[in-house]
Chains A and B, each alone.
Chain A
């Protein structure tokens, strides 16, 4: 009887962990994509500053309220501006940043093609 009881308790605890695992995963993913505003070199996930600790709680609460990842990013962008996101949004200020690697890649490709195909 005792054994069964213990087994049941362990099974229940394990089940709860299983339910929670998914939430923690998204929670960490969001926290890793956020810049800690006080400790600039770190993400919110890495930081243990008061601000980061609170922000992690906020993210957790928002997930439990049923907000999607996108909605949480938008919420934080509204509060703190785009600076808090590590992944910059594509707009007038950042198009150079986004397009430059593609341009360099294309230019490099063009040089390679020119070297190898037109030589023959």
Chain B
């Protein structure tokens, strides 16, 4: 009687293991954050990029406008890719671009902007990357669409033409 059960139990265990691993195979184990979050804008204090004056977050995001917060750095190659779309976005006067200069030095960053154009209305410098963590960001480039003090959309990696169209559709 005992030997009759053992093969079927073994097959069952094998099947369960197989199903679990097979399902796990399709699960992505790469960190994929939620992109449609309705989170409040974190409060922070940062130095301005141009001069050393301190800027408070509440002063930037106070109006009823749309804001596009973009984390960039001159050493980041994908940032160059997305730059033309930021310049395109700048033409829209319903949105204000806030740049977070991430772990960069002033000389390199200013020559980056000189070569490719400056799309930002305000640039803040996040020297040690801690303010970006308050936003839940984990790399460059990363962008957040802000409206009424809430993050309404998040873009990981460089924005492309589709993202640009989507943003323009939202802010219309």
Check if A and B associate.
yes
User: Whole-angstrom distance from the CB of B92 to the nearest CB of chain A?
Assistant: 29
Interface segment, one of A8-16, A21-29, A52-60: A52-60
The listed residue (A37, A58, A81, A83) touching B130 by CB distance below 8 A is A58
User: For residue B139, which residues in chain A have a CB less than 8 angstroms away from its CB?
Assistant: 38, 50-51
Chain A interface size band reads 10 to 19
B136 and A53 form a contact (CB under 8 A)? no
In the complex, A68→B129 CA distance in Å? 22
Stretch at the interface among B30-38, B108-116, B162-170: B30-38
Cβ–Cβ contact B103 & A80, under 8 A: no
Interface size class for chain B? 10 to 19
Residues of B within 8 A of A54 (CB): 103, 128-130, 132-133
Instruction: Tell me which residues across on chain A come within 8 A of B140, comparing CB atoms.
Output: 50
Let me know if B33 and A81 touch, CB within 8 A: yes
Asked whether, in the complex, the Cβ of B130 is within 8 Å of the Cβ of A79, the reply is: no
A83/B129 in contact, CB under 8 A: no
Q: Which secondary structure dominates where chain A touches chain B?
A: helix
Q: Are B29 and A40 in contact (CB under 8 A)?
A: yes
The number of A-B residue pairs with CB atoms under 8 Å apart is 43
Q: Are A38 and B138 in contact (CB under 8 A)?
A: yes
Q: Which of chain B's residues have a CB closer than 8 A to the CB of A37?
A: 31, 138
Would you call B121 an interface residue if the criterion is a C-beta within 8 Å of the partner chain's C-beta atoms? no
Q: Which residue of A has the minimal Cβ distance to B140?
A: A50
Cβ contact of B129, chosen from A38, A40, A53, A81, cutoff 8 A? A53
Residues of A near B50 (CB, < 8 A) are none
Q: Output the least CB separation between A92 and chain B (Å).
A: 17
Q: Is A61 among interface residues, defined by CB-CB distance under 8 A?
A: yes
How far does the alpha carbon of A120 sit from the alpha carbon of B56 in the complex, in Å? 78
Residues from chain A with a CB closer than 8 A to the CB of B103 are: 50, 54
Taking CB atoms, residues of chain A closer than 8 Å to B128 are 54, 57
Q: Is the CB of A80 within 8 A of B138?
A: yes
* A54 to B, closest residue via Cβ: B129
Binding site for A on B (CB under 8 A): 29-31, 33-34, 102-103, 128-130, 132-136, 138-140
Please list 22 pairs of residues, one from A and one from B, whose beta carbons are closer than 8 Å in the complex, sorted by A's number.
A37-B138, A38-B138, A38-B139, A40-B29, A40-B30, A40-B31, A50-B102, A50-B103, A50-B139, A50-B140, A51-B138, A54-B128, A54-B130, A57-B128, A57-B129, A58-B130, A58-B134, A79-B133, A80-B31, A80-B138, A81-B34, A83-B31
Contacts A51-B138, A79-B136 known; 13 new A-B pairs at CB < 8 A: A37-B31, A37-B138, A38-B31, A38-B139, A40-B30, A50-B139, A51-B139, A54-B129, A54-B132, A79-B134, A79-B135, A80-B33, A81-B33
**Residues of A in contact with B (beta carbons under 8 Å apart):** 35, 37-38, 40, 50-51, 53-55, 57-58, 61, 79-81, 83
